[in-house]
């Protein structure tokens, strides 16, 4: 499985930001930036995307719990693609 796009719709400091991760053949991307740029928030968003939102988390300082959203477009080895969005349930 490869992550082609990460959609940070409403989580942590992000609002409607999409990261294009489709370049390259190996599926490895390094995210870097200055302190407080949102690298850890993006990593937590990936965890929420694939494993669900925890009962409580620290990424609701800009968006209320009921508005938290993170999505992605992924593909498998046969290049079959799936796009989905996960939301924080009440």
Q: How does pLDDT run across 33-53, given as a tens digit for each residue? A: 999 999 999 999 999 999 999
The mean pLDDT value for 69-79 works out to 94
Q: Assess contact for 45 and 11: CB atoms under 8 A.
A: yes
Average confidence score pLDDT of the chain: 91
Instruction: State yes or no: pLDDT of 64 exceeds 80.
Output: yes
As assigned by CATH, the class of the 2-87 domain is alpha beta
Question: Which stretches of 1-90 are DSSP H helices?
Answer: 39-51
Beta-bridged to residue 86, according to DSSP, are 70
The model scores a pTM over 0.85: yes
Instruction: State yes or no: pLDDT of 27 exceeds 70.
Output: no
Q: At a CB cut-off of 8 Å and minimum separation 6, what does 21 contact?
A: 2, 3, 4, 5, 6, 29
pLDDT bucket at 29, cuts 50 / 70 / 90: confident
Instruction: State yes or no: pLDDT of 25 exceeds 90.
Output: no
In the chain, where the domains are located: 2-87
Residue of 27 and 9 predicted with greater confidence: 9
């Amino acid at each position: 499985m490869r992550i082609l796009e990460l959609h940070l719709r409403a989580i942590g400091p992000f609002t409607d930001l999409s990261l294009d991760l489709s370049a390259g053949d190996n599926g490895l991307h390094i995210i870097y930036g200055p302190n407080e740029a949102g690298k850890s928030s993006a990593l937590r968003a990936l965890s929420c995307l694939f494993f669900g939102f925890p009962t409580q988390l620290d990424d609701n300082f800009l968006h209320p719990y009921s508005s938290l959203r993170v999505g992605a477009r992924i593909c498998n080895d046969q290049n079959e693609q799936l796009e989905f969005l996960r939301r924080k349930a009440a």
